[in-house]
Amino acid sequence: MKELKPRLEAEYIIRQYYKVTPDESPIDEYWDSMWTEDENGNHRRVNQSDTWAQEERARFHRLFKAIIASKEALQAVYEYIVLLEHFLASQEEFDFFEAHYGKGQDDVSFLSVLRSISTVFTPEDQRWLLETEDDMGESLEKCFKIEAVGWNMGEHVH
């Protein structure tokens, strides 16, 4: 009979599961609370009847709906949201952004992810994505709520 020897070393995988929920309401919350600067340098609330404000609000809603309608876009957005949450929560030295995108976390933004899947958007919205500063995607990024929902641990076998 073969004698069983205890293993002195083992590898384990710990997986955290996340739930990402799309919610369009942060777009309106953002635009309803937005401030702008007039020609005299005075800050004022954005007049919601201004044509440009209506067009931008409509654009954000259009982008959101295009993301939801495309399996590829939704997957790309979910991956970004989960990697960002994991990066912020874990403070690990391993850069998941570098491994996944070929760039560090500081070089990847929500809008840069949208640019990478821009074919799901209208030509006008594709141009807007290319010309827009990365921080403009913040209200759209907030449309994807994330929460950690559980853990799973298993032994890694070679």
Residues 46-105: pLDDT tens digits?
776 778 888 989 999 999 999 999 999 999 999 999 888 877 777 666 677 788 888 877
Average pLDDT, stretch 2-23? 77
> Pseudo-torsion of CA 34, 39, 43, 46, nearest 10°?
-20
Indicate the SS3 state at residue 151.
strand
Rounded to an integer, what distance in angstroms lies between the CA atom of residue 1 and that of residue 5? 13
Contacts 24+ apart (CB under 8 A), 64-72: 64/22, 64/24, 64/27, 64/140, 64/143, 66/120, 66/121, 66/122, 66/125, 67/22, 67/114, 67/120, 68/22, 69/120, 70/117, 70/120, 72/117, 72/120
pLDDT reading at 130 higher than 70: yes
What pLDDT does 124 receive?
A: 94
Average pLDDT, stretch 108-117? 91
Could you give the percent of the chain with pLDDT greater than 70? 89
Closest CA relative to residue 34, chosen from 12, 50, 14: 50
What pLDDT does 2 receive?
A: 64
pLDDT reading at 29 higher than 70: yes
CB 11 within 8 A of CB 155: yes
What pLDDT does 7 receive?
A: 61
Alpha carbon distances (Å) from 33 to 39, 62, 82, 144: 20, 20, 27, 19
pTM over 0.85: no
pLDDT reading at 111 higher than 80: yes
